[in-house]
């Protein structure tokens, strides 16, 4: 509890504690089945400096939106296009467990720190949303997800959707070795619960490493390039990806790299892509996708220190909410 | 007069006084009927820090364009698509009266300061362009406009076009109260000269507060969402908005919030919207709109201190000119 | 509790929750007599933009130091000059109650929000450290202190030490009115518990308003200018100030404005002073001062958004610790 | 050679020397016919501050991509849409000769410095890529190209493609005179080897100076406006431009100003255009264009110091590679 | 006149026109004998980018101080150390004539533009304060001063005080030639009215070019190094410099380069010096110096675009006022 | 060789290749006995982001000074206080071997990469100057130095001078382990060639870890605190440190951390210290120190990305030159 406890009104965005959307900061034991659980994994090694600042920055950036949501608690929202109404439930469906254990000079210990935290969330029935950090975080997060899931459902099979400008499917990345943000999807493909033929990559852009593309084809995975999105239409890509990922699987894990959009529209990210999709297009992919049985997710590569305009974390929050909305709101 | 008086050439953009497009800095008594009159209202309370720097920043940013216009005085411009030619008239149609009175710790006194200045402009027959500041400035600016207008045309009726990503139609905004950049359109709807059924909102994006949408519907106002713009086409939305706003009215007041475009394309603004329209789309809305009988306007939410790249004020000038061009140029 | 609970090691500075020095975030009911209690008052109206970011920025900046202190918990520190040893007590003497209530468009309501929070801290026996915000915060903080104190010791008398480059003793500040960061010391002089002749101003620099100097002289207050510090020596000024402030009083309230040091050495502050003292000099004043019976304090005018180098909050933490050290460490 | 010589692995992007894409830094005598030769021309006078930082910034920005290409040396890339494969040839086709001579206070001497360097590259059979600097650099670069070419092929005729938001076809620019980034295309039209009716301008946007448009029409040049690109489609514009420029010519010189894309998507440039094309659109123009017989080129107006997010040089590298790819890769 | 004309109160610092200390913006014909006249010379060629932004930045930075001075108009200031009182006279002694003519690509034409403006100020009896720009501005400013002076007093002799970390006494600076910020003092030494043996250099720091030191010695000029200031004491250096400069002369011209202080204390300057004097020391030199018969001055090398903290122009204003105070205030 | 080869004049600071002071970029085989050899070690793990940018930033920052030195090649410098003259020898005594091998995710492999490079320099008789990176770099640099030295002089004994605000003498630093910028001096004390009782620490500031101080005392090492420097005088500390370090030793290794000066005067560094010494004081320590038989050195913790004013690398160059001057100049 903080000093704002006495007032029924929302504090201004620049006051009060910095949890995601002002969700309660709790320990693992407060997680109930179905709760959406935010955690942070401030790890980055490769790319440009800055992804370590992701979890902290996104939480702070989410407060401008939280200021608005605070009022919606009473009034509710409406989507003027569809007429659908959104209400914040009286009992919160969203909590924040803070940052998981990271060790700047020890990648494998960091891997266990993140995986252990996510596994604990999933074991208790939570929907885990792990905020990176660079895209390597996707691997320990998915590792933790499959560990936690295996305790609740030992035979559950998991499909995988990789939203990103890049494949991240190298077996090893030059001097960075086997555990970094160029190998995360490869490491995930090696997890026992993950079904390689249900791995779907959306938004891939530019020339790709030949070896990675051929390995994915051998595994039966699917790639939707930026150009495919333009040809098929984003909503159709969202639906096809969902169908392919859930096929033969019980749940989908989503690994969401914000650099899937053109870096011209997003300052604060490490791996810059030019000529990629717009936010408008991305949102049309996410809309149908958010209705599939997603089990857990990560949200990576937001690098607030690289964006002196300060917009990136506010934009990142809006992108993440496109997936979280059905989970944290009541929709009529 | 400044030290540049002796030369017939334009000073470089980083020299000379900082009025909008190098318009003469004048007192109210220099305003003639039909003159376009720039004023500043450096007020902001809510959003992110920075909109207070709007008037000063836009004036400075306009000088890069003024450097080019200075030469056009002799040569003229041509629109290569349409063949239309633009000339700067020998007698300027544009003046700048500097900043209106604001009082940082007293919102109501600031409201009177801005309204008083705008009313004086309008009373003398000027076309008032009030540069914010945050969107709250729209209310005192429109208040001043209707006051000034009532002296020249006591029974004039005013339509209202709100170009913005947000409705700003709350009756009260949490701890900010009734007078801020979430309530400005509501306050305007309460002005006697404004016709609520001629209020038109363009570019609304994301979930809206249910109470605001229902209130607007009861009043007979019209909302064109970002999605409507995509479906109907921007030029058609511009025309429909103009028709709806002028219906039963003598003049249209335009309140123009730059955050109607996606914040991914505009660093320097306070309320960040992701997935909104591009500048190209916006310009296609403004083109037909600029030909309706607009009485006065405000231009708000440019926050130069939030944009260390320095582009925002230059971009803002170009957006504003899409409306001002028929007023300050001779078009053949 | 956050995800770091499982490890005995300190998280890196960029991970984990952002309380001051990683102190527990608690409600008022956790305050015990003698506890040092950090609160935030993110309020600013006048100066340059940015002091609103003070509490959040200082908390975040303090974490680099907390990383070091975490190890000191086991090892302890030593001052190599004096041989004195510092240990962090096993039971923390420091808590953080988060931010107090502020209302951006209503100064008087903000005044009550801050004063109410501080009074509650003091009522429970806490040593209140209120982080601004601009220097106006000094008034509601001292107001709350005397209110809380009066319940525990109805007749207690309070001396006042104002560490600042400016007097802040105007009765009214132009269009800003009576409640802002130019009037805070004047408002404090009007509090019943404060003894005007025990008011001491340290570090005053540059030309001062004649009316303010004369008013202070009439009240019997003492001014140590920047030049006095040079002539008398900083340690002597610290001692004289302590003696003067405690004379006839039970406790001293300290209002500490970081702009007492030359702005050439501190980027992130609003009211810039050139030619003022260095940090080395300031620390020599604070050393003797920290041993007087200080009752509570504020620490104001750190404006992290104005300092893109990010050093200011780290420096601010070090300055504040010069006063807090005897309270939160065990000294041998 | 640098300290990395001992390792077969690529250094991380922030280590090692800063040549374009880690090409060898060589003297002119190492140039072989067909080699692509990068040089820098850090000259800027007009626009906003910053284009002088272009060559250095682009080289540094290219290293993130070089890190990836280093691995491709072994693996190769594939374009997942077309199935085409790209390999880096074992013998590099790309070298960097460093910066050419510039003299900040003497435009004509700078002109000779740049032209002399480019002429030397072309004389030796190199494909010259001169990195600006502001767009004035286009003139000395093309001047040098035609000089060098005339030694190898005395009667060769050159077509010209100007990719830019602006015409740059003034005869004189106010107080800047005849040699600056508003006159470069005019000066080029006066070169003996250049065929005025094979001059093509792509991406022109906003109102243009009447005199410039009329002069171009008299010369038989072609203008594709931003709107033409939308109506005809970008690939079609690329093809038409190539056909027009090569007609009656032996080679095409390309002058590529990055401000042809909307400044909302590109922070680091001097002359800001709003409402211009996106990077996606630009890339579709460049794809067919890159297959015409281009003789040499310049790449101007990237201003890294204006972009504190640091993305601009990384984006610029990707745009430039759209033209260079067929020259520096083996394509299967 | 601007919209603030109606109120007796000072506008906040971020509102209103941007003249130095809110002095009236006037033409040359408003200058009366004894008036202090601010002009701007936004010229820079060498150093780091940014000095071109000096005049505009200093004017804007001066407004924070102007806000305070506005109230002093009624109350007056007091120097608490000396008891001296300062009042702003009812009739302003300070005007601002805006920027003088500069031509970015033509140094000699810029020289005439600045010299012509300053000469006009001096011809009318004004005390000219020319704001740079880089230190080259010192030459045209002093040239204009001696030209204007020669009309009022044909035989007047001028002493010269150069406050700077560097001698700027090269005859030619590599590829920059003879007219730049490394040669300005040499060019001044060649003016007929200037007495070389009355040239005094204060604050010189680091190794100096041998040729420059020997030339100055031959001319009989005096150098006070940074170390001399430490040994002799700053006040003594101020007095000696004044005595030496006025000896055999009627007036002193001061050329004041802000990089005389250590760049560690001043972000926004082009030529960085480490280990130079502090602002406190500088102020002690200026205090006695300001009482000598100074005829005119320049104030150069403030580069606001290089200082993202925004302090430099506020600090620069305070440094400049150390000399201007006896001229624009009434002192009792 | 680059395109500047044809001109005898220095290029402007923003043009040409980025070696330290424009020294030739060479391979190890070009090193001759007595040559000063710059290398880079862009490694950082702990502190704030940014030290990885040190080597690149310092090289770039050194070019402003190189522009001046280029002219001195002909003219020479003079120290106006002492009359000593400095000339650049016709044959350069300074080379740059580029960056040594670093591996971002593998500290021990990085340690070998740096140590191997430095050993090679020393083996060939070079004076190695290794630019960090964070202070951990000091350990592999000194390790390499002693390795290389042992081949030339198997029984040589080495004294150690640590110029820093912090001891860096932890055995292990929390979760960072044994190899980071808190343990570097401890690791060095364990090297066989280093004489612990000849280890001297200068500039230590603030509370120190008790365990570290006691370990150093047991080893017979000496600590000069910031306060000792004030009491003894900086030149005396420089002399005493030199005497203590060379006692019983053949050479001194210097590890120079720029955070020994107050972070208020130096933006771009990771570990911020307030109240530490000024640059003026530091320079007085270095002057006598530079005359002892120094064998090699490192220069660490400059973090250019943390300093948006861009001054830090320019200042860093000046600090480093205080030690290098007797090695790269001829002094008369």
E-state strands within chain B:
36-41, 77-78, 85-87, 94-99, 127-132, 158-163, 194-204, 208-209, 222-225, 251-257, 294-300, 330-331
pLDDT of the residue at D2: 35
pLDDT of the residue at F40: 93
User: How many Cα atoms sit within 13 Å of B104 on the Cβ side?
Assistant: 25
pLDDT of the residue at C106: 87
What confidence tens digit (pLDDT) does each residue in C172-227 have? 987 788 999 999 999 999 999 999 999 999 999 888 999 999 999 999 999 999 99
Cβ–Cβ gap B176/C105 under 8 Å: yes
pLDDT of the residue at C136: 96
**Strand B85-87 and strand B330-331: pairing?**
antiparallel
Mean local confidence (pLDDT), E127-150: 97
Count other C-beta atoms under 10 Å from residue F72's C-beta: 18
What confidence tens digit (pLDDT) does each residue in D145-159 have? 999 999 999 999 999
Is residue A294 over pLDDT 70? yes
The partner residue sitting opposite A279, judged by closest CB among B46, B48, B264, is B264
Mean local confidence (pLDDT), C311-326: 93
CB contact residues (below 8 A), chain E span 65-124, against chain C: 67, 70-72, 75-81, 85-86
pLDDT of the residue at E91: 78
- Among residues of chain E, what percentage have pLDDT more than 70? 94
pLDDT of the residue at E13: 77
Name which residue leads in pLDDT, D116 or C19.
D116
Mean local confidence (pLDDT), B129-136: 95
Cα D224 from chain centroid (whole Å): 19
Whose tokens are 């790319």? That residue is: A47
List CB contacts (< 8 A) between F208 and chain C: 77-80
pLDDT of the residue at A72: 59
How far from each other are the two terminal CA atoms of chain A, in whole angstroms?
Answer: 32
Mean pLDDT score across all residues of chain D: 90
What confidence tens digit (pLDDT) does each residue in C21-49 have? 888 999 999 999 999 999 999 988 766 66
Range picked from C140-149, E30-39, E169-178, F207-216 for highest mean pLDDT? C140-149
What confidence tens digit (pLDDT) does each residue in C117-146 have? 999 999 999 999 999 999 999 999 999 999
What confidence tens digit (pLDDT) does each residue in C88-126 have? 787 788 999 999 999 888 899 999 999 999 999 999 999
Confidence of residue B3 (pLDDT cuts 50, 70, 90): very low
**d(C-alpha D17, C-alpha D25), whole Å:** 9
**d(C-alpha A189, C-alpha A171), whole Å:** 11
Cβ–Cβ gap F283/E268 under 8 Å: no
pLDDT of the residue at A4: 35
pLDDT of the residue at C5: 35
The partner residue sitting opposite D207, judged by closest CB among B10, B13, B79, is B79
Name which residue leads in pLDDT, D215 or B48.
D215
Task: Return all residues near F301 (Cβ < 8 A) that are at least 6 apart.
Answer: F47, F51, F54, F132, F134, F135, F181, F257, F258, F259, F269, F270, F271
Name which residue leads in pLDDT, B145 or D272.
B145
Query: Which of F37, C324, C176 shows the shortest CA–CA distance to B110?
Result: C176
pLDDT of the residue at F73: 60
Mean local confidence (pLDDT), B229-249: 97
Q: Does F209 reach chain C within 8 Å, measured CB to CB?
A: yes
List CB contacts (< 8 A) between A308 and chain C: 308
Is residue E3 over pLDDT 50? no
Confidence of residue D46 (pLDDT cuts 50, 70, 90): low
Range picked from B59-68, B321-330, D45-54, F129-138 for highest mean pLDDT? F129-138
**d(C-alpha C278, C-alpha C258), whole Å:** 11
Task: Give ipTM to 2 decimals.
Answer: 0.90
pLDDT of the residue at B73: 61
Helix (H) / strand (E) element for D110: namely helix D107-123
Q: Does E53 reach chain B within 8 Å, measured CB to CB?
A: yes
**d(C-alpha F143, C-alpha F317), whole Å:** 24
List CB contacts (< 8 A) between C52 and chain B: 49
Q: Does C264 reach chain E within 8 Å, measured CB to CB?
A: yes
Count other C-beta atoms under 10 Å from residue A220's C-beta: 12
Nearest CA in chain E to B51: E14
Give strand pairing partners of C300. C257
What confidence tens digit (pLDDT) does each residue in F168-214 have? 999 998 778 899 999 999 999 999 999 999 999 999 988 899 999 99
Cβ–Cβ gap A85/B210 under 8 Å: yes
Phi-psi sector, A96: left (phi>0), alpha (psi -120 to 50), beta: beta
- Among residues of chain F, what percentage have pLDDT more than 90? 68
Cβ–Cβ gap B179/C103 under 8 Å: no
CA distance A326 to chain C (A): 26
**d(C-alpha B98, C-alpha D229), whole Å:** 41
List CB contacts (< 8 A) between B177 and chain A: none
pLDDT of the residue at E133: 92
Q: Does C178 reach chain B within 8 Å, measured CB to CB?
A: no
Name which residue leads in pLDDT, D99 or F72.
D99
pLDDT of the residue at B78: 87
CB distance C272 to C263 below 8 Å: yes
CA distance A22 to chain F (A): 27
Mean local confidence (pLDDT), D111-124: 97
Handedness of CA F30, F34, F37, F43 (dihedral sign): positive
CA distance B174 to chain A (A): 6
Q: Does A265 reach chain B within 8 Å, measured CB to CB?
A: yes
Cβ–Cβ gap A104/C12 under 8 Å: yes
Instruction: Give the tokens for residue B67.
Output: 């450097």
Q: Does B268 reach chain A within 8 Å, measured CB to CB?
A: yes
pLDDT of the residue at D7: 41
Confidence of residue C254 (pLDDT cuts 50, 70, 90): very high
- Among residues of chain F, what percentage have pLDDT more than 70? 94
Confidence of residue D105 (pLDDT cuts 50, 70, 90): confident
Confidence of residue E272 (pLDDT cuts 50, 70, 90): confident
List CB contacts (< 8 A) between A70 and chain B: 174
Is residue E2 over pLDDT 50? no
Cβ–Cβ gap A80/B223 under 8 Å: yes
Is residue A142 over pLDDT 80? yes
The partner residue sitting opposite A79, judged by closest CB among B174, B207, B272, is B207
pLDDT of the residue at A73: 60
List CB contacts (< 8 A) between E172 and chain F: none
CB distance B202 to B237 below 8 Å: yes
List CB contacts (< 8 A) between C305 and chain B: 49
List CB contacts (< 8 A) between D50 and chain E: 49
Mean pLDDT score across all residues of chain F: 90
What confidence tens digit (pLDDT) does each residue in B267-293 have? 888 888 888 999 999 999 999 999 999
Cβ–Cβ gap A71/B265 under 8 Å: no
CB distance E4 to B101 below 8 Å: yes
Which of A22, A66, A77, A80 is the best substitution to test chain B (most B C-beta atoms within 10 A)? A80
pLDDT of the residue at C116: 97
Confidence of residue A49 (pLDDT cuts 50, 70, 90): low
CB distance B323 to B289 below 8 Å: yes
Confidence of residue E1 (pLDDT cuts 50, 70, 90): very low
Confidence of residue C2 (pLDDT cuts 50, 70, 90): very low
Q: Does A166 reach chain C within 8 Å, measured CB to CB?
A: no
pLDDT of the residue at E47: 61
Which of D309, D310, D324 is the best substitution to test chain A (most A C-beta atoms within 10 A)? D309
Mean local confidence (pLDDT), E221-247: 97
Which of C275, C278, C303, C312 is the best substitution to test chain E (most E C-beta atoms within 10 A)? C275
Task: Return all residues near B72 (Cβ < 8 A) that are at least 6 apart.
Answer: B86, B87, B88, D209
List CB contacts (< 8 A) between A307 and chain D: 309
Query: Which of D279, D263, D252 shows the shortest CA–CA distance to D162?
Result: D252
Query: Which of F243, A167, B29, B234 shows the shortest CA–CA distance to E3?
Result: B29
CB distance F300 to F137 below 8 Å: yes
Is residue A3 over pLDDT 60? no
List CB contacts (< 8 A) between F172 and chain C: none
pTM: 0.93
Q: How does DSSP assign C154-181, residue by residue?
A: TT--EEEEEESSS----S--GGG-SSST
Q: Does A275 reach chain F within 8 Å, measured CB to CB?
A: no
What confidence tens digit (pLDDT) does each residue in F52-88 have? 899 999 999 998 888 877 766 667 888 877 778 888 7
Cβ–Cβ gap B77/D209 under 8 Å: yes
What confidence tens digit (pLDDT) does each residue in A60-84 have? 999 888 887 776 566 688 887 777 8
Mean local confidence (pLDDT), B106-124: 96
List CB contacts (< 8 A) between A76 and chain B: 209-211
Listed range (A158-167, B22-31, C238-247, C268-277) with the worst mean pLDDT? C268-277
**Strand B85-87 and strand D222-225: pairing?**
unpaired
Q: Does E45 reach chain F within 8 Å, measured CB to CB?
A: no
Q: In what order do the strands lie in the sheet with D222-225?
A: D94-99, D36-41, D127-132, D294-300, D251-257, D158-163, D194-204, D222-225
Mean local confidence (pLDDT), B254-266: 94
pLDDT of the residue at F8: 46
Helix (H) / strand (E) element for A38: namely strand A36-41
The partner residue sitting opposite F104, judged by closest CB among A46, A103, A106, is A46
Q: Does A278 reach chain B within 8 Å, measured CB to CB?
A: yes
């Amino acid at each position: 509890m903080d000093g704002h406890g006495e007032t029924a009104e929302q504090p201004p965005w620049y006051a009060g504690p910095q949890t995601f959307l002002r969700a309660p900061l709790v320990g693992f034991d407060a997680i109930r089945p179905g709760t959406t659980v935010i955690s942070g994994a401030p790890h980055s090694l490769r790319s440009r400096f800055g992804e370590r600042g992701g979890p902290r920055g996104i939480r702070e950036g989410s407060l401008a939106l939280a200021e608005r949501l605070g009022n919606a608690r009473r009034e509710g929202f409406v989507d003027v296009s569809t007429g659908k109404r959104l209400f914040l439930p009286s009992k919160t469906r969203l909590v924040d467990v803070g940052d998981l254990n990271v060790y700047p000079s020890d990648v494998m210990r960091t891997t266990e720190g993140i995986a252990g935290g996510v596994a604990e969330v999933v074991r208790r029935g939570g929907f885990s949303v792990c905020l990176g950090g660079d895209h390597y975080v996707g691997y320990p997060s998915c590792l933790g997800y499959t560990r936690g899931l295996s305790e609740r459902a030992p035979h559950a099979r998991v499909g995988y959707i990789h939203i990103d400008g890049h494949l991240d499917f190298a077996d090893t990345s030059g001097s960075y070795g086997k555990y970094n943000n160029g190998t995360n999807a490869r490491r995930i493909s090696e997890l026992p619960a993950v079904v390689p033929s249900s791995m779907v990559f959306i938004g891939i852009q530019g020339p790709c490493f030949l070896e990675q593309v051929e390995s994915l084809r051998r595994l039966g995975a699917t790639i939707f390039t930026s150009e495919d999105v333009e040809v098929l239409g984003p909503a159709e890509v969202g639906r096809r990806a969902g169908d392919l990922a859930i096929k033969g699987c019980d749940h989908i894990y989503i690994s969401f790299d914000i650099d899937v959009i053109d870096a011209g529209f997003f300052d604060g990210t490490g791996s810059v892509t030019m000529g990629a999709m717009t936010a408008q297009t991305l949102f049309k992919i996410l809309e149908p996708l958010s209705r599939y049985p997603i089990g857990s997710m990560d949200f990576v590569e937001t690098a607030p220190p690289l964006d002196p305009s300060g917009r990136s974390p506010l934009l990142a929050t809006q992108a993440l909410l496109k997936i979280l909305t059905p989970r944290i709101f009541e929709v009529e």
